[in-house]
Amino acid sequence: MTADGDGGPAPFLVAASLSGAADADWARAAAPHVDAAVLGGIALDPASRAAARDLVARGRTEFLPDDPLAWVDRQLAALADAPVRPGINVRSATVEPVREAAAVCADRDAVCEVNAHCRQPELRAVGCGESLLRDRDRLTDYVAAAAATGATTSVKVRAEVPGADLVAVADAVAEAGGDWLHVDAMDSEGVVADLTAGDDAAAGAAPRAGLTAIANNGVRGRETVAEYAAHGADAVSVGRPTEHPTELARVAEAVRAWRDGELSAGESERRREAPP
């Protein structure tokens, strides 16, 4: 979307949020390898917090501090001197807590990431996570509220959600003031190409052309990084590999090679031609 050759950001690596694990200590551990680290997700309002408690009851780890906004501020403050751009992935069934969290992010030069990604039934039932992909008006209200604070605003989305038009979602996010689109490609890497198609048009470019496209899911080394780069991604992210230093270092080296122009198109072709 915002390709480096056109004056956009150089390719970068994001540590993607992991429920119950991605806190300031986690971000510091990943910092030698990543450019940004998105903490959370954190449930902000009563409905999303009730859903998170239900998830904990069935064995999922979640952040459930007494005061979510104070937790956000403490975590970001703990990263004030860390060599990484912090962010927070937020869940809410209502818009005002998103605005409040984004204001904290703006004060800390952090990214506020709206979660339109989680697929757990408990979260979807209260209107959080991927349910927002089918409710663009509400999603854009969240994005506009966050962007109005001055915080860099990201939206984490999931591919292949029935009833969701991800291209239309991307355009709506951009028009509402969003900055990043963080795409969990879910074994559908080509969706990144759909989202970035036509970005180079001199006239009539879609609103989404101004978004920074971050590709997530299955990023493990040079071949997967090269594939997402070939599809038009501006950056890539990793979740579970952040807990495995050797794997994270391998991805970081691939992103460095991408940034330095050392990745070849043939590397992504080798991945496509590999036997199942």
- Span 127-138, pLDDT tens digits: 999 999 999 999
Among residues 196, 193, 242, the alpha carbon closest in space to that of 220 is found at: 242
Cα angle 168, 208, 200; round to 5: 125
Nearest-angstrom CA–CA distance, 155 and 178: 7
Residue 6, pLDDT score: 52
* Range name among 65-69, 85-89, 166-170, 202-206 with the lowest pLDDT average: 202-206
Is pLDDT of 48 > 80?
yes
Q: 266 or 33: which carries more pLDDT confidence?
A: 33
Q: 11 or 266: which carries more pLDDT confidence?
A: 11
What are the residue boundaries of the structural domains of the chain, listed by start? 4-273
| C-beta separation of 222 from 264 below 8 A | no
Backbone φ and ψ for 117, nearest 5 degrees, come out as -130, -40
| C-beta separation of 208 from 249 below 8 A | no
Give the residue-averaged pLDDT of 76-96.
99
Which CATH number applies to 4-273? Answer: 3.20.20.70
Residue 4, pLDDT score: 54
273 Cα distance to chain centroid: 28
Is pLDDT of 269 > 90?
no
Strands (E), the chain: 12-15, 36-43, 85-91, 111-116, 152-158, 180-184, 212-216, 235-238
